[in-house]
Structure 1
């Protein structure tokens, strides 16, 4: 069994790189970005270090790759954190120096389009961390959510087992990052159910792989960073969807393609992030959001029943585009105990 490399963790007072491998949104929306930097300094006692493309929209893939190389190669940088996501990080991957990154393993934090980097780093045998972007989690208006905070503190500073906690509330309604009033109070949340278990009469333990489902579909289409099917034997698949709000049909088709490629049936278990069901383009009502989430769960079950009927599945784990957010290692260990209804990760 593969033994993953867990990079050394930073300590309070250490320097951490802040990069924008996808979109340079800090240039357009400085308020959540500056708030996130301040919390990194004051609450987490880390020293953020920016790079040439961090606050610049339109930076080329080569320039963004150069920032990553500088961050991973610098001896005084102890972790690398993405400012935010985007939609074209796949164009950065061909310009990355795998030998440089592998020779300088560091914790990388990000999600959404950063699934490109998370899976790239994990394929090098190094554990990466799905979650914790500067503008979204660290820059949350009002205050960071306590569940997010304790998970990020554990993932950033500690090693060993960490038991994920279920949330009793969640939020997915955004406010305008350009409006100062947005940052006067925390975002609204609503009551929610906990995790939903399928095929729960088993315990699954293995290394994780995956992230944002739309990004995974792009990687499959480009045939980039996708290994032979047998490489995923016994692993635990992570999937979550973004503010693009893909339809249940699209979710099913992506997973069907993963099944036809011979990959979906290899996983021992699947962790599914709570579905984000609201966007500025589709401001769904609470009832409409519930229907959207239900249809997405049904689509996932339809695909897994066809290609991997015995897999343990846990729905509505808070590791995606909703708030709060827990950090999940990619390429690291997870244990899902269906009998005890517990999920434990190794940070």
Structure 2
């Protein structure tokens, strides 16, 4: 039987959404960008973004007080007038929140939580609590995109957690970008970034359709989480469609292969239903081909040449990015080239 996760109420227009700094207090250095995200979320989704009590207390305080960051999550879950949550930005240390998180509270008050990158840690704790979570843009990234939110992002967020739930197919972004913009330069906020034409997905292997619940996140963050009490139990990995992406740290293809071998040693790869790989941030074409070679190699080592694998998918550290409902059912159909989601 497929695993079942509680689906949080939708974040319809009028929802009050708490902005959380669970990873870093960097936002206070780019408050113009923060306000742009607040404005654009109100324009596109009708959300009222409200900062959690500690969210804007700055990098020094939040670095010294991981318990305050966890308290913000608990505050947002327990406040009856807060409908959902969005991560302001990622970072590299939300694994420090694990001793302070109350999974019972997440289960008792299932609310939509949106974010990516270092937010992987907390999103997976929602899955451990039996609650869906949403791997998608943070407030300072695609929600505050220069020149306005990309329609691809708007559609992805709406389908995943705003509109009435209905199955939908994912699609490649028509164009994408990694162009750097200094968020502290408010004069650039209304200037759209240059885009590269989309190059579509790459189906690396697999012939038969497969379906499972969606899990995953940022590989570097998963490596930090691996072996801690926050790591997913074997029953959560079994039968899953695993979505993996890499960050601006640009781990070499071989390193990705080594991480996958760790998953193989745990028995994770053998039990998967499918694998989604994001467009790798900062990779050259040669690095991308090497990455694909490593993925095929490791799957061959564990006898999973049958596993459907779709690469170059628009999520994680790319823009515009999809919103993936973790815990929801996803079907991969190599014959038709479709990825269908039941949010």
> Per the shorter chain, which TM-score range?
over 0.9
Deviation, 1:39, is 1.0
Where has structure 1 moved over 4 Å in runs of 4 or more?
Answer: none
* Aligned match for 2:315, one of 319, 323, 326: 319
Cα offset for 1:292? 2.5
The alignment covers a number of residue pairs equal to 336
Following the alignment from structure 2 to structure 1, what is the Cα–Cα distance between the partners of residues 300 and 145?
37
After superposition, the Cα gap between the structure-2 partners of 1:231 and 1:104, relative to the gap in structure 1 and judged at 3 Å, is closer
TM-score (norm 1): 0.93
The equivalent position to 1:236 in structure 2, one of 241, 247, 256, is 241
2:270 equivalent to 1:265? yes
In the alignment, the residues of structure 1 paired with residue 236 and residue 49 of structure 2 have an alpha-carbon distance, to the nearest angstrom, of 36
Is 1:298 the counterpart of 2:303? The answer is: no
d(CA) in 2 for partners of 1:129 and 1:193?
A: 25
Q: CA deviation at 1:13?
A: 1.2
Hey, what does 1:283 align to over in structure 2?
Answer: none
Structure 1 residues 214 and 163, CA, compared in 2 at 3 Å: closer, same or farther?
same
> For 1:271-322, what per-residue CA distance to the aligned partner results, in whole angstroms no more than 9, with x for missing partners?
0111111xxxxxxxxxx72223222222222222222322100001101111
Cα separation, 2, equivalents of 1:38 and 1:315: 33
Q: Is the 8 A contact 1:4 1:125 kept in 2?
A: yes
Determine the C-alpha separation between the residues in 2 that align with 1:51 and 1:79.
Answer: 11
Residue number among 59, 80, 83 corresponding to 1:57 in the alignment: 59
Q: Give unmatched runs, 5+ long, in structure 1.
A: 278-287
Per the TM alignment, residue 223 of structure 1 is displaced from its structure 2 partner at its CA by: 5.3
Q: Is residue 2:188 matched to residue 1:188?
A: no
**Residues 37 and 196 from structure 1, CA distance in 2 versus in 1: closer, same or farther, beyond 3 angstroms?**
same
Match of 1:284 in 2: none
Which residue does the alignment assign to 2:257? 252
Q: CA deviation at 1:33?
A: 1.4
- 1:115 corresponds in structure 2 to 120
Specify the SS of the correspondent of 1:134: coil
1:210 aligns with 2:216: yes
Q: In 2, are the aligned partners of 1:17 and 1:80 still within 8 Å (CA)?
A: yes
CA RMSD of aligned residues (A): 1.5
Structure 2: any 5+ residue segments left out of the alignment?
none
Give 2:172's match in structure 1, choosing from 162, 166, 176.
166
Question: Which deviates more from structure 2 when the two are superposed, residues 177-186 or residues 63-72?
Answer: 177-186
Whole-angstrom CA distance in 2 between matches of 1:302 and 1:318: 23
Contact 1:130 1:211 survives alignment (8 Å): yes
